[in-house]
Structure 1
Amino acid sequence: MTQRALSGLEPLLALLRPLLGAVAAYSGGVDSTLLAFAAHTALGPRALAVTVRSAFTATCDTDLALAKARELGLNHRVLDLDVWGVAGLPANGPDRCYRCKRAVLTPLAALVAPGAALLEGTNADDDPTRPGRRAAAELGALSPLARAGLDKAAVRALSRDLGLPDWDAPSNSCLATRIPTGTALTPAALERVDRLETLARGLGLSALRCRDLGDVLSLELPPDQIPLARNHEDRLSEAARAAGFSGLRIKDRIPA
């Protein structure tokens, strides 16, 4: 670890060292990986990184989180969440993200010992009005990245300097975001989106979203990946029809 990396990490460590322990929400994304690593560095075995696995989680995302936790030597646990049993969540209303975030963080809060803290990975760039932030505040979760003034660019730069895996990975979101708000979520709807995204990644595509528009599947990709998607359009269209869609639409998206 370079001196530059240590200097960049110090503001986070200074926030974490006074804690008697910490439970960090860990999805395996860039933000939560830096947070979990910093908590592990500051607190050692008193820091626990927890990945919540549910029907909203793409299989590849859980696999990645597990692999990174092993690589970094984190004290790590996986908890399974039955999202279908969370009141109001399957209805996919405008408060879905709030209900989901609260459901994810609640079992983590139950693991927090006296004097320890619940940590989550909001960074300084994140919109303060996001519903998930309200849920985090209600449960008393701390957001050390934001408190340390680390925006997304700074998180990526520090993660790169620390040698953390996948520091440049594109931002991702849960499978529920692939279904339009107001359209009820079902296991079948999420499973077919996950299956189609897995196929697309296997063809070399990344930073993608498969949006369920009801009749049509919209495959959203960064502009530089559109040509590759066009090369595989017949196969992707066939898979979309086999999943129950009438057709496939390939669309530009700019990754966050």
Structure 2
Amino acid sequence: MREDAALAQELARVLARFETLAVAVSGGVDSLTLATFAHRQGLPLTAIHAVSPAVPAEATARVRNLAEAEGWELVVTGTGEFDDPRYRDNPVDRCYFCKTNLYDRIAGLTERPIASGANLDDLGDYRPGLIAAAERRVVHPMIEAGMTKADVRALARALGLPDIAELPAQPCLASRVETGIAIDAADLAFVETAERRLAPLAKGGTLRCRITHHGVVVELDGAAMEAAEAIGAIAAGLCAGAVRAYAGTRAYRRGAMFVRS
């Protein structure tokens, strides 16, 4: 991780080539940090946040609150991915169709270049959404600046955003659904409710509520695993109340819902 001043200088150099930007702001640390930094640099920008059943309500509230505090121009829009059967079918490259809908919607709202908050760590993961971004000439200033996730968090702290800096990784709710299970708004609402209920017991560890072919599974790591028994008991009760099969707890594994042939 580089020094804060070097991070800021390199990202400022990358952003200097743009006269304006439309930043796709999801509500996570990356895009919020990018929008905050670019706006404070004096770069005219529009922050565009997309809402859908796959976006937690708390992420939308976070975007609205920071936009008001920082004075961004904010546009909140729907993405339309639930109207796309290719997305709802939940193939292994579902994220491609999600980002296709997202970036096409943003392009219909503004003529400004579209920027994402992707960082270098994203390049080492399975991210078909990056293909959709490349096809639409979406720019990734943090990748160009050579920033990792740790660098992004350091920059957020330097910007005076400690709460944003410490946000856990929080991919969209659809990422909790195993490949081949159709994306359903009711499933996503259950996941959001369950994770909100269980998160306080996780003690800062990672917790994911997964919709699998065998039933609902709660994945835990680190300190969260120490509370597995209590978490499992509550999860089982939530599943019973929603008439869902509960398949227990297990160790967290990133990307566990992507089933590749």
TM over 0.5: yes
Alpha-carbon distance in 1 for matches of 2:222, 2:120:
27
Q: Which residue of 2 aligns with 1:60?
A: 58
Q: 1:144 Cα shift?
A: 0.4
Q: Which residue of 1 aligns with 2:123?
A: 127
Contact kept, 8 Å, 1:170 with 1:255, in 2: the verdict is: no
Q: 1:27 Cα shift?
A: 0.9
Contact kept, 8 Å, 2:36 with 2:70, in 1: the verdict is: yes
Contact kept, 8 Å, 1:48 with 1:76, in 2: the verdict is: yes
Q: Which residue of 2 aligns with 1:155?
A: 152
Contact kept, 8 Å, 2:218 with 2:248, in 1: the verdict is: yes
| Gapped regions of structure 2 (runs ≥ 5) | 256-261
| Gapped regions of structure 1 (runs ≥ 5) | none
Counterpart selection for 1:99 from 97, 100, 104: 97
Q: 1:182 Cα shift?
A: 1.1
Contact kept, 8 Å, 1:89 with 1:99, in 2: the verdict is: yes
Counterpart selection for 1:81 from 76, 79, 82: 79
Change (3 A) 1:43 1:147: same
Alpha-carbon distance in 1 for matches of 2:106, 2:79:
11
Q: 1:85 Cα shift?
A: 0.8
The one-letter amino acid paired with 1:78 is V
Change (3 A) 1:201 1:65: farther
Q: What secondary structure is seen at the aligned counterpart in 2 of 1:43?
A: coil
Q: Which residue of 1 aligns with 2:250?
A: 251
Q: Which residue of 1 aligns with 2:135?
A: 138
Contact kept, 8 Å, 2:29 with 2:165, in 1: the verdict is: yes
Q: 1:229 Cα shift?
A: 4.2
Alpha-carbon distance in 2 for matches of 1:94, 1:191:
21
Q: 1:21 Cα shift?
A: 1.2
Alpha-carbon distance in 1 for matches of 2:4, 2:70:
16
Change (3 A) 1:233 1:134: closer
Q: 1:235 Cα shift?
A: 2.7
Contact kept, 8 Å, 2:202 with 2:224, in 1: the verdict is: no
Shifted more, 49-58 versus 217-226: the winner is 217-226
Over residues 90-121 of structure 1, what are the superposed CA-to-partner deviations in whole Å (9 max), with x where a residue is unaligned?
000122110101111111122333xx411011
Percent identity of paired positions between Structure 1 and Structure 2: 29
Q: 1:205 Cα shift?
A: 5.7
Q: What secondary structure is seen at the aligned counterpart in 1 of 2:120?
A: coil
Change (3 A) 1:210 1:242: same
Q: Which residue of 2 aligns with 1:8?
A: 7
The alignment yields a C-alpha RMSD, in angstroms, of 2.3
Counterpart selection for 1:118 from 108, 114, 117: 114
Q: Which residue of 1 aligns with 2:258?
A: none
Give me the TM-score of the superposition, normalised by structure 2: 0.86
The one-letter amino acid paired with 1:92 is N
Change (3 A) 1:92 1:177: same
Q: Which residue of 2 aligns with 1:171?
A: 169
Q: Which residue of 2 aligns with 1:18?
A: 17
Alpha-carbon distance in 2 for matches of 1:23, 1:183:
33
Q: What secondary structure is seen at the aligned counterpart in 2 of 1:88?
A: helix
Over residues 59-84 of structure 1, what are the superposed CA-to-partner deviations in whole Å (9 max), with x where a residue is unaligned?
22222222233333322221122322
Alpha-carbon distance in 2 for matches of 1:147, 1:138:
17
Change (3 A) 1:214 1:228: same
Change (3 A) 1:205 1:238: farther
Give me the TM-score of the superposition, normalised by structure 1: 0.88
